[in-house]
Structure 1
Amino acid sequence: MSGRRRAEVRPRYGRIGAALSSMGVTAVAVLGGTGMLPSAAGEPAGSDGAITTSASEPRTPAPAPKPRERDRGERDVDAPPSTPGERVVTSELLPSDSGTGRRVVFSEDRQRVWLVGADEQVRRTYPVSGSIHDNLDLGTYSVYSRSENAVGIDDSGTMRWFVRFTQGDSGAAIGFHDIPVDEGERVQTVGELGTPTSHGCIRQRTADARAMWDFAPLGTTVVVVP
């Protein structure tokens, strides 16, 4: 027997605690993976961005989005186009009783013009400003005179692309032209088109007046509707 004393063996509590902790984590993971552990409705979002719920809790469907209100003047996607790639609202549709064949159609109520081809397709439609007076009867007319430049009665201004199709009670010509210019200023704004402002004729934007000029040679049919 040696005279040395054997060192006292002490339990290593740190290692035992770590082992027990590891076993606990493993058990939780196994139970959670099998669905045996319920989860709270307020848990953080999962990897897919959805809030986790327990199996017994039904998922509440998200409310359906409300239909978006149309902006004023927005085009109706169900209406037929007036030109390729363009959509129109109901007020822009060609009036049903407006004749047939190649023609110009002017609606006094809508203050709008349509240029219609021989195939009944609308080539162009746009707002205009007709007369504030009741000087134009409904019916069918024909272009009888044209002037690239003209002067209004009593030197009331100058205008371009004048396409005449009838005359008023006083004998003055009635037709389509651009917005007159008087003393260097337009007598109305483009924004006012769509409402009656003239004293007899039908005023158009410059681009529309030029389109009318190109579309309506002498003899072109003009139909005036309500």
Structure 2
Amino acid sequence: MVVPEAVRTRPRVRYARISALVSSVAATAVATLGPLGVVDSATLAPTAAEAAEPAEPAGPPAPQAEPSRGAAVLSAAESTPYDAPIPTPSVEPVPEAPLPADSGEGRRAVFSESQQRVWLVGRGGEVRRTYPVSGSIYDNLDPGSYEVFSRSEQAYGIDDSGEMRFFVRFTVGDNAAIGFHSIPTKDGRRLQTRAELGTPTSHGCIRQALPDAKAMWRFAQLGDAVVVVA
């Protein structure tokens, strides 16, 4: 029976048999020609592993990996100086209210009825402190120069009108003394808020926030000058 070419089985290469044959031929050649000095036994005797291992076909060189564009972008981003200091815009300080002109000389406390503000002035004319206050809603204090004549760390208003602290008196009105003190409290509640300072709310005295009342208490001693300007 004739087997068609298409179905003939391709012969399988027997690498083990080839290796044995090559080794046998090499041994015979060395034994025959070696004593004559014709063949170098080290040259003709391949190892069994070399004879058995088939030669790999030479292929094209492995392609080199190209750096991705994303890696380049990341590298550039990493080098960006994010830690560089950001300049802070300069902020101009808000100027304080200037000391009124013609408000006396030397160490004194100045009260402006129109501005509802107090200035504590040192001996050299420097302003040590200025802050808003609440004067009288009535016209019962004339502009002029006065002196501190009485001080009370705690006092009470007439007709049970409230409790006040750090009272510094410098003149007398129709019914009671007039001076600087803290915002009065009654039944534990303040009679006005600090936000209302800067507008007239009292019945004759000059109300101050508690920190400012303490500052006035430390500053104004008996006999010190108080100047009231319109």
Alignment of 1:108-119 (within 5 A): 108-119=113-124
Q: CA deviation at 1:88?
A: 2.0
Task: Rate the CA distance shift 1:76–1:106 in 2: closer, same or farther, 3 A.
Answer: farther
Aligned to 1:154: 159
**What value does the CA root-mean-square deviation take over the aligned residues?**
1.3
Q: Secondary structure at the match of 2:213?
A: helix
Aligned to 1:205: 209
Aligned to 1:163: 168
* Counterpart-to-counterpart distance in 1, 2:95 and 2:208: 19
Q: In structure 2, what residue type is equivalent to 1:190?
A: R
Aligned to 2:104: 99
Match of 1:124 among 125, 129, 132: 129
* Counterpart-to-counterpart distance in 2, 1:76 and 1:197: 33
Q: CA deviation at 1:183?
A: 1.3
Q: In structure 1, what residue type is equivalent to 2:178?
A: I
Q: Please, what TM-score do these two structures have when normalized by structure 2?
A: 0.59
Aligned to 2:147: 142
Q: CA deviation at 1:76?
A: 6.8
* Counterpart-to-counterpart distance in 2, 1:96 and 1:88: 17
* Counterpart-to-counterpart distance in 2, 1:116 and 1:184: 33
| Identity fraction in percent | 68
Q: Which runs of 4+ in 1 moved over 2 A?
A: none
Q: Secondary structure at the match of 1:161?
A: strand
Task: Rate the CA distance shift 1:153–1:100 in 2: closer, same or farther, 3 A.
Answer: same
Structure with greater helix share of residues: 2
2:95 aligned with 1:88:
yes
**5+ residue gaps in structure 2?**
1-90
Deviation per CA, 1:165-194: give whole Å up to 9, x if none.
001123x10000000001110000000000
Aligned to 1:186: 190
Match of 1:219 among 212, 220, 223: 223
Q: Secondary structure at the match of 2:138?
A: coil
Q: In structure 1, what residue type is equivalent to 2:129?
A: R
Count of aligned pairs: 140
Q: Please, what TM-score do these two structures have when normalized by structure 1?
A: 0.60
* Counterpart-to-counterpart distance in 2, 1:167 and 1:205: 22
